[in-house]
Structure 1
Amino acid sequence: MPLPSFARALAHRNFRLYLSGQGISLIGTWTQQVAMGWLAYRLSGSAVWLGVIGFSGQIPILLFASFGGVWSDRFDRHRLLFWTQALAMAQALLLAALVLGHVVQIWHLVVLAAVLGVVNAVDAPLRQAFVVQLVDDRADLPNAIALNSLAINSSRLVGPAAAGFLISWLGEGVCFLLNGLSYVAVLWALRRMKTTSPHRRRSSMREGLKDGFSYAFGFPPVRALLSMMTVLGLTIVPYMVLMPVYAKHVFHGDAQTLGLLMGGAGLGALMGAVFLAARRSV
């Protein structure tokens, strides 16, 4: 039975496995992100600390994501992704242990956010490149990218809503624990995959970075996208860091209020992802 056009990339077994595991893990990721912000504000009562933690999690990505992209071209993406996901799992479980053990301090959050930022600097470009490797028919690649975006944005809706409920009922530590356990799904999916590693060009790190920057800034469509994402990252995305302040002091709410506010952005993104998934070309 043929799959509908909006789900045709699911005909590829490896992509099916990846999407199922990643979908579960991403819900855990957004659950942790909401819980991290709420916990930081509860411990410090300071918007400044929210900014410090947000900065510590993002600055490694700014500094090292280009290196992560080169590594994803030089090494076995399947194996490398398994280890980045395992490290992210360890970070979540350590955070859960600190919170559930009632020994967590604000500096722990800063350090662990930085650790996760370093992992994400490799993991984020790696995952984007790995999706391309999972679809044999290039005609299905736009649909695979759209379905991957659909999974990401669905998690942005479900994860924060779940986090708000869990924080109010059981506390932030349970959110971190569930996120750690959610990585089992993606690790299991990666273990089940049968992939062949394509030939890697063994260029030096310097050559890889030079080629990457030359392509990014020399190809007008990519340059335009990078410019747009830079503007969005500087002017719009940082609002999420301050959402605990708005939830508590502007809307006089609690963790569930924060979950709804964060999930609202996910709803809008999800609608856009559904539209893209139905298209044959973006």
Structure 2
Amino acid sequence: MFLAGHGADRGADQFFYVILAWAAAHSGSALSFGLIMTVGTLSRAVVTVFGGAVADRAGVVEAAIWSLAARVVLMLAFGWVLTASPLSSWALTGVALAFGFADGVHLPAMESAGTLVVDREHLRSFQGVLSWINKTATAAATPIAAVLIGWQGASAAAVTGAAVLGLALVSVVALHRRGLRSPARVDGQLLEMVRAGFSYALGRPQLATLLALFAIVNGLTLAPLVTGVALTGRDNNWSAGQYGLGYVGFFVGSLIGAGFIAVGRRYVAHGLRWSLMFVLGGCVGLAGMAVAGAPLIVCGFAALMGAFFGAGAALMMGDIKTETPPEYMGRVMSMVTMSIAGLQPVGYALYGWLAGVTSVATAGVTTAVTLAVAAAIVFVSPVARRRQVAPA
């Protein structure tokens, strides 16, 4: 039941941002579009700093329920705002701001609640299933939202998103009624709790390494895929269909990678070293995708990249959750969310600059080599040789 609810939650989240982007594009100038989208993502990132501490103090299950309820209300309010003609950029900015605030608490709370559904020794394989469902839900939500906007209008699409969020809310409430309970709540001032969370994570080499590796992989690999494929297609005069092959390949590969973690738990008992090997395999796909020019070859390397990085990301997230005791789970999940939100813009900027001063191929290969060297250094370090033991 939690898997279905989590998938509905991720799909509805993608619904919101697809509809918001459409509405922002039709509300005024390019400047207002940028303001609306920036406010939504920035508010989420800022609140996430404290969101995990809020979840640990209030109880991660309770925080997930109340933040889901808030998101349902906000999605319905979004649908009402979209009935206006012309669309108000200020109203859209307010909705984006409020939804970002709710997300800042909800994301770490929902991820933390998932660790209570299964025994801790099964968290790695459970994370593989969770990643597979989330990737599928997110990928499916984008075209469905676009079709609904064209068919019934943006307001009806937002109401549909609210209904999907309602299903997620019902699933978590039902699990709560059946006995899903938060661990002991943590008392304290929010700032002190945030500081204690960082101190805990940074003071444990295995967990700190996993967090850093997860952040670097997610921060540096998205730009070569999104920007690199687009630039390669432009330079080789691809059609729109050929342009999409790279993304299809990566998506299929990432599903295969997450699926392997879900079903191959007995092969990945030593999580960090397996994660590093997956990263090295993904670097081969990244470098190959950067130097290839034919659409099908790019698709194949993108699939290889997606499979290895998808498996590595799912395994790293499972290991991060395994390494984290329940009383710190919300704050550590906040760190995961912040690392993605903070490093991906940096990755885009670095990749864009490097591709501009050299070439697309050089930028992609340089990124792959940098990741591979970092993974190899960690692989031979004492941290990687220590076997993981889940905290009590």
**Per the shorter chain, which TM-score range?**
0.7 to 0.9
For the Cα contact (< 8 Å) 1:69–1:126, is it kept in 2? yes
Residue 51 of structure 1 and its aligned partner are, at CA, apart by: 2.7
| AA in 1 matched with 2:4 | S
Check conservation: 1:31, 1:159, Cα contact below 8 A.
yes
Give distance in 1, aligned partners of 2:65 and 2:45. Answer: 22
Mapped pair 1:177 → 2:159: yes
Any idea what the Cα deviations from partners look like across 1:34-72, whole Å, max 9, x if unmatched? 1211221122251x3333222211222332213111122
Three-state SS of the structure 1 residue aligned to 2:184 is: coil
- Would the aligned equivalents of 2:113 and 2:182 in 1 still touch at CA under 8 Å? no
Change (3 A) 1:34 1:206: closer
* 2:15 aligned partner: 31
Q: What is the SS of the residue equivalent to 1:200?
A: coil
Count of aligned residue pairs for this structure pair = 250
Which residue of 2 is the match for residue 4 of structure 1? none
- Could you say which structure has the greater relative contact order, defined with CA pairs below 8 angstroms and 6 or more residues apart? 1
1:213 aligns with 2:198: yes
1:156–1:265 CA contact under 8 A, matched in 2: no
Letter in 2 for 1:117: G
Structure 2 vs 1, CA of residues 185 and 234 (structure 1 numbering), >3 Å: closer, same or farther?
A: same
Q: CA RMSD in A?
A: 3.2
| 1:150-165 matches, cutoff 5 A | 150-165=132-147
Aligned residue number for residue 98 of structure 2: 115
Could you tell me which amino acid in structure 1 is paired with residue 108 of structure 2? P
Map 1:86-235 → 2, pairs under 5 A:
86-102=69-85, 104-135=87-118, 137-193=119-175, 194=178, 195-224=180-209, 226-227=211-212, 229=215, 232-233=218-219
Return the TM-score normalized by structure 1: 0.76
CA pair 41-54 structure 1, distance change in 2 beyond 3 A: same
Q: Which amino acid aligns with 2:64?
A: L
Question: Scaled by the length of structure 2, what TM-score is found?
Answer: 0.56
Letter in 1 for 2:23: L
The farther-off stretch of 154-163 and 207-216 is 207-216
Q: What are the Cα deviations for residues 173-200 of structure 1, in whole angstroms up to 9, with x where unaligned?
A: 2221100111221121122112233222
Shift in Å, 1:260 = 11
Give the conservation status (yes or no) of the 8 Å contact 1:156–1:266. no
Change (3 A) 1:179 1:152: same
Identity %: 25
Q: 1:53 aligns with which of 36, 44, 48?
A: 36
CA contact (8 A) 1:31 1:179 kept: yes
Q: Could you list the per-position Cα deviations for residues 160-215 of structure 1 after superposition, in whole angstroms to 9, with x for gaps in the alignment?
A: 01122222222222221100111221121122112233222323323311211113
Pairing partner for 2:54 from 64, 68, 71:
71
Relative to structure 2, which stretch is displaced further, 29-38 or 96-105?
Answer: 96-105
- Letter of the 1:168 partner, please give it: G
Moved more, 156-165 or 261-270: 261-270
CA drift of 1:101 comes to: 4.5
Shift of 1:139: 1.9
What is the distance in 2 between the residues matched to 1:260 and 1:87?
38
Cα 1:84/1:200, change in 2 over 3 Å = same
Larger Rg: 2
1:42 aligns to 2:42 (yes or no): no
Tell me if the contact between 1:160 and 1:263 (Cα under 8 Å) persists in the aligned partners.
no
Structure 2 distance, partners of 1:261, 1:175, is: 28
Alpha-carbon contact 1:161-1:260 (below 8 Å) kept: no
Unpaired segments of 5 or more residues in structure 2? 227-237, 269-314, 316-392
Contact 1:24 1:185 in 2 (8 A): yes
